[in-house]
Structure 1
Amino acid sequence: MDAGIVLILGQDGITSGAIYALLAIALVLIFSVTRVIFIPQGEFIAFAALTLAALQSGKVPGTVWLLVAMGAFVALIDGVARLRDRDTEGLGSLLGWNLAYPLALAALLYGVNPGELAMPLQIALTLAILVPLGPMIYRIAYQPIADTSVLVLLIASVAVHLMLTGLGLVFFGAEGVRTAPFSEGSLVLGEVSISLQTLWVVGCSLTFIVGLYAFFARTIYGKALRATAVNQSGAKLMGISPVVAGKLTFLLAALLGVFSGLLIGPITTIYYDTGFLIGLKGFVAAIIGGLASYPLAALGAVLVGLLESFSSFWASAFKEVLVFTLIIPVLLWRSFNSHHVEDEE
């Protein structure tokens, strides 16, 4: 292995690590605030790339009807609860966000040819379709059981993952797709050629990480999420709604997952079930961070990306085994260096 190969493998590892970092941060965020191990995080990646590919081919993606169905269900259960309690305040915004918005978006997609739109508009439509699914999933699957144990929440995550994977097969079929790159061409540095899409991946990932740091450090909502992560009961006493915190957390996680899918769509073939494997690698990085530390999770993601890249060169048949084996020494080390606390009843 010469220096050129090392640089190429390092480039691939850092690119993959940048995506895993976004996923790991999203998983840490969700777990620290809601105690949910969000297995379906990878589905947002697959749905993002497949939805954008459908728009670029001039088709209306099936995910828009998933948005309509989930929005209608949320509007129904929340609307009935408000009417039963005779609380009509905010009923208009509830129906507007969960019912009128998805229907208007579906009408817009059927009124234009998505394939003729500029790429920024196609990306915006993809975000508009998929990001609202985050808080809707929280409302339907997790909010009713928010006070139960982590194990029950994990079982709910498995159920949501299986449902979304099946819907992905129905919406998009079994064929893999690649989306058009954000920018064509490459940048040559010595013996290494770096594609512009790779620079987009790394640059956007760093921008998101810096943006999240500023959000948590300087905004009221960010500080509220931090307080909920530290002590949910104390945050509730200070007037911070755990429901609002949960929905905002899932909104941010959906945004990170969807944008990750948009970034890697041009550089790897995405299938309806690809997100699960990518999400598991993000989970390995989150475990390295103890499902609590954002910087350690990001560093762990880079480590996972580099390990995967170099493993694919030395032993491509065992690269997945080597990546997931990394979780064993990490868990052992954390087990020996942490105090065991029984889960609260």
Structure 2
Amino acid sequence: MNLQIAMILGQDGVTNGAIYALLALSILLVFTVTRVLFIPLGEFVAFGALTMAAFQAGKAPALVWLLAGFAVAVAVADVLAAFRNSGRVRFSGAQAFRLAYPFVLGFALYRLPLAELPMSVQVLLTLALVVPLGPQIYRLFFQPIASAPVLILLIVSIAVHVAMVGIALLLFGPSGAKTTPFSEAGLELGPITLNSQTLWVIAVSVGLIIVLYQFFERSVYGKALRATAINRVGAQLMGISPVFAGKASFFLATLIATLSGVLIAPITTIYYDSGFIISLKGFIGSIIGGLVSYPVAALGAVLVGMLEAFSAFWASTYKEVIVFTLIIPFLLWRSLTVRHVEEEE
């Protein structure tokens, strides 16, 4: 291995690590706020990439009907919950908007010349279509069992993941997709040329991390989520709604995952089931951070990306084995250094 090869591998490692870092932060955010290990997070990476590819092909993805079906189910669940609590049927303006939103969006998608739209508009439409699925999934599958033990939440998360993979196969088919890069320009850096999409990935990842930091440090909603993550019961006693915190964390996590899928779609071919492996590597980063520390999780995710890139050069056959084996020493170290506390029933 010479310097040029090492720099090329480093470029790939940093690119992958930036995406893994975003997913690691998303996993940590959801877990600390809701105690849910959001295994279906990877499906939103695939949904984002495949939806963007469908738009560039001039097709309106059938995912809009999944969004509509979930919206109807959420509306029914809200009406039934209101009836059980007060004995009356209530349907607010916000609920009407959430119910009408996917149908209006679907009408627009089938009318617009999707392939001719600017890429920025295609990205916004992708986010508008995929991201609302996150809060819907929380409302339908996790909000009713929010106080259940972590093991029950994990089992439900696995079940949702399996269902979402099957739905992705039904909606997008088994064929992979790759999108057009944001730009064709490159940056000369010594003996190598940095791909423009690599620069986009790094820039957007760093920008998102900065925005998230400012959101949690300076905004009221961010501080509310931090309070819920530190002490759920105390936050609830102070008037912070756990339902709002759960939906907000799922919204942010799916936003990051969808945008990650849009960013990596020009670099690699994405299939309906590709998201699981990608999010699993982000999960390793979050484990390195102990499912607590955001900075350590981000650094751990970058380490995973670098290890993956260099493993592909030295032992490509065992690349995944080497990456996933990284989790073992950290689990052993944490089991020996962290005091175990039984969860209160």
Match of 2:41 in 1: 41
Kindly indicate whether the alpha-carbon contact (under 8 Å) linking 2:288 and 2:330 is maintained by their aligned counterparts in 1. yes
- Give the 5 Å matches for 1:56-95: 56-84=56-84, 85=86, 91-95=92-96
TM-score, reference length from structure 2: 0.98
Structure 1 residues 76, 215: CA separation in 2 closer, same or farther (over 3 Å shift)? same
1:81 CA drift (Å): 2.4
**What is the deviation of 1:77?**
1.1
Counterpart CA distance in 2 for 1:251 and 1:198 is 26
Alignment of 1:1-345 (within 5 A): 1-84=1-84, 85=86, 91-97=92-98, 99-345=99-345
| C-alpha displacement of 1:88 | 6.4
Q: 1:114-144: CA deviations, max 9, x gaps? A: 1121111111110000111110000011001
Q: How far does residue 62 in structure 1 lie from its aligned partner after superposition?
A: 1.4
The count of aligned residue pairs is: 344
Aligned-residue sequence identity (percent) comes to: 58
Q: How many Å apart are 1:344 and its aligned residue?
A: 1.5
CA distance in 2, matches of 1:216, 1:31: 16
Q: Determine helix, strand or coil for the equivalent of 1:30.
A: helix
Where in structure 1 are there 5+ consecutive unaligned residues?
none
CA distance in 2, matches of 1:277, 1:223: 32
Deviation (angstroms), 1:209:
0.3
Could you report, residue by residue, the CA deviation over 1:31-88 in whole angstroms, capped at 9, with x for unpaired residues?
A: 0000001101100000000001011101110111111010110011102322452566
**Equivalent residues of 1:41, 1:254 under 8 A apart:** yes
Q: Distance in 2 between matches of 1:300 and 1:315?
A: 21
Aligned pair in 2 of structure 1 residues 195, 20: CA closer, same or farther (>3 Å)?
same
Unaligned runs of 5+ in 2: none
Cα distance per residue 1:5-33 (max 9 Å; x no partner): 11111110000000000000000000000
Secondary structure of residue in 2 paired with 1:20? helix
Shift in Å at residue 110 of structure 1?
1.1
Give the drift of 1:184. Answer: 1.1
Moved over 4 A (4+): 86-90
What per-residue deviation string (whole Å, max 9, x for no partner) do you get for residues 156-180 of structure 1? 0111101110011011111111011
Work out whether residues 15 and 202 of structure 1, in 8 Å CA contact, stay in contact via their aligned partners in 2: yes
For the residues of structure 1 that align with 2:50 and 2:34, how far apart are their CA atoms? 28
Letter of the aligned partner of 1:274 in structure 2?
S
Partner SS, residue 188 of structure 1:
strand
Q: Distance in 1 between matches of 2:258 and 2:82?
A: 32
Q: CA RMSD in A?
A: 1.1
Please report how far the alpha carbon of residue 112 of structure 1 lies from its aligned counterpart in structure 2 after TM superposition: 1.6
1:230-272, Cα deviation, whole Å (9 max, x unpaired): 1101000000010100000000000000000000000000000
Could you tell me which amino acid in structure 2 is paired with residue 8 of structure 1?
I
TM-score by length of 1: 0.98
CA distance in 2 between counterparts of 1:161 and 1:69 reads: 18
Contact 1:79-1:91 at 8 Å conserved across structures: no
| CA distance in structure 2 between the aligned counterparts of 1:204 and 1:43, rounded to whole angstroms | 20
Q: Does the 8 Å contact 1:20/1:302 carry over to 2?
A: yes
Deviation of 1:90 (Å): 6.2
Separation in 2 of the partners of 1:13 and 1:74?
40
Q: 2:56 touches 2:115 (CA, 8 Å); kept in 1?
A: yes
Query: What are the Cα deviations for residues 284-319 of structure 1, in whole angstroms up to 9, with x where unaligned?
Result: 000000111100000001000000000000000000
Letter in structure 1 aligned against 2:323? V
